[in-house]
Amino acid sequence: MVVGDFAIDLDTVVIGSGPGGYVAAIRAAEMGQKVTVIESTFIGGVCLNVGCIPSKALINAGHRYQDALDASTFGINAKGADLDFKKTQDWKQNKVVHTLTSGVSMLFKKHKIDSIMGTAFLKDDHSLRVMQKDSAQTYTFKNLIIATGSRPIEIKGFKFGKRILDSTGGLNLPEVPKEFVVIGGGYIGSELASAYANLGAHVTILEGTSSILPNFEKDMVQLVLNSFKKRGVTVITNAMAKEAEDTGNGVKVTYTADGKEQILAADYVMVTVGRRPNTDDLGLDIVGIETTDRGLIKVDAQGRTNKPNIYAIGDVVPGAALAHKASYEGKVAAEAISGKASAVDYKAMPAVCFTDPELATTGMTLAEAKEKGIKAKASKFPFAANGRALSLAQTEGFVRLVTNEEGTVIGGQVAGAGASDLISELTVAVEGGLNVEDLALTIHPHPTLSETIMDDAEVALGLPINI
């Protein structure tokens, strides 16, 4: 490959190697395309390196630590449990993150996918320039998939630094803080608040609205609030964060609540008030690619922009900013480039929050169904009546099925142990147009948490066995 002023011709180019970009690249290669991935930071993107994966590693470490501190419920009395947080962070980075990102690099090699490290900037609808530290190179392409993801929003008065952190900084703390303030009680804020509380921190969440986790139903959120209370997490709602001051060995956070200005002293403050699409420095305006007021790229059902050879997926397009949504869209775009009739066409997009307990939702809620004029009902089965949940001493939570007049499953929610896994069965039910009888008549192994779904289907039929 010659580097210089001459443009280098490429076939399919993917900008970004996160769960949208790397999946799109692999599927495109499987379809026979010659693929090149351009990545500005690290292979695997935010999710694998500083997002979904490392956060779940810390959450799991927190659970293990709590188990070691107190297993007296099971008649186990362990003494002297000690947390070596440096070792925890090393495990998270070297065993979990590195293993996965190395795996992506191996898959690139297997599928003969080239990768270029650098920042891409579009010149026109068939060429771009990649800037590196000491050089730049122009490339032409036949087709392009934009999968540049998103970044944390920095708010006024909270300039990111050593003690004023975004979610990346929050995941990579050198120590477990004694006092930890989280600005924003959405998915990321609530998950990391839960993780650090389990690891021994006193956590305060400042949420600007009337409730944390606004994307989940109130009875689900209440379970998390109950858990937070047990763990000493302070949740302050309708609180407006004003500024943070790094004092050298800590941080002072000023906020207003109930019309009064308050100050919190902490070791660190983490801001998790949302994310912004990485579309502002791509040169979209130069090419004439249409975007929304929020900077999201407008696409059709195949991920195609108003430029027929340029596609966009994941956090840079409208819809939920979820890794699995990006992967799904990546496959569609890659197949569309190969002439397949693939299109984004789903009834249910599952969403999970890995708090204590886990929360998961898919399809429509009862309220959403009624808003659309659908005559629907909801049935509910408690984890407290499930043998496996009892044996795990994790009886908080429930399964809820949302069904229409014909008994077809159109949505569902799970709050409790294993919710992140159980939600997949409900998603299959929604996508497949299954009836509650299909779930009730499907034999579920005993004793398992999955039986709660069968039991709830029987509740929906009016023929409950276990409650």
Which active-site residues does the annotation give?
Answer: 446
Annotated binding-site residue? 186? yes
Amino acid at 147: A
Residues whose CB falls within 8 Å of the CB of residue 388, separated by 6 or more in sequence, listed in order: 447, 448, 449, 451
Annotated binding-site residue? 187? yes
Annotated binding-site residue? 169? no
Terminal C-alpha separation, the chain: 68
Say how far apart CA 309 and CA 206 lie, in whole Å. Answer: 44
Annotated binding-site residue? 452? no
Annotated binding-site residue? 148? yes
Residues whose CB falls within 8 Å of the CB of residue 216, separated by 6 or more in sequence, listed in order: 353, 359, 361, 413
Six token digits for residue 146: 């934009």
Residues whose CB falls within 8 Å of the CB of residue 143, separated by 6 or more in sequence, listed in order: 11, 12, 13, 33, 309, 310, 311, 337
Say how far apart CA 20 and CA 28 lie, in whole Å. Answer: 12
Question: Hey, is 318 helix, strand or coil?
Answer: coil
Q: What angle do CA 177, 183, 189 make, to 5 degrees?
A: 75
Annotated binding-site residue? 22? no
Annotated binding-site residue? 105? no
Annotated binding-site residue? 56? yes
Annotated binding-site residue? 211? no
Annotated binding-site residue? 420? no
Annotated binding-site residue? 156? no
Annotated binding-site residue? 207? yes
Which residue's structure tokens are 């959403």? 368
Residues in a beta bridge with 179: 202
| Numbered residues of the known binding site for FAD | 56, 148-150, 315
| Numbered residues of the known binding site | 56, 148-150, 184-191, 207, 274, 315
| Numbered residues of the known binding site for NAD(+) | 184-191, 207, 274
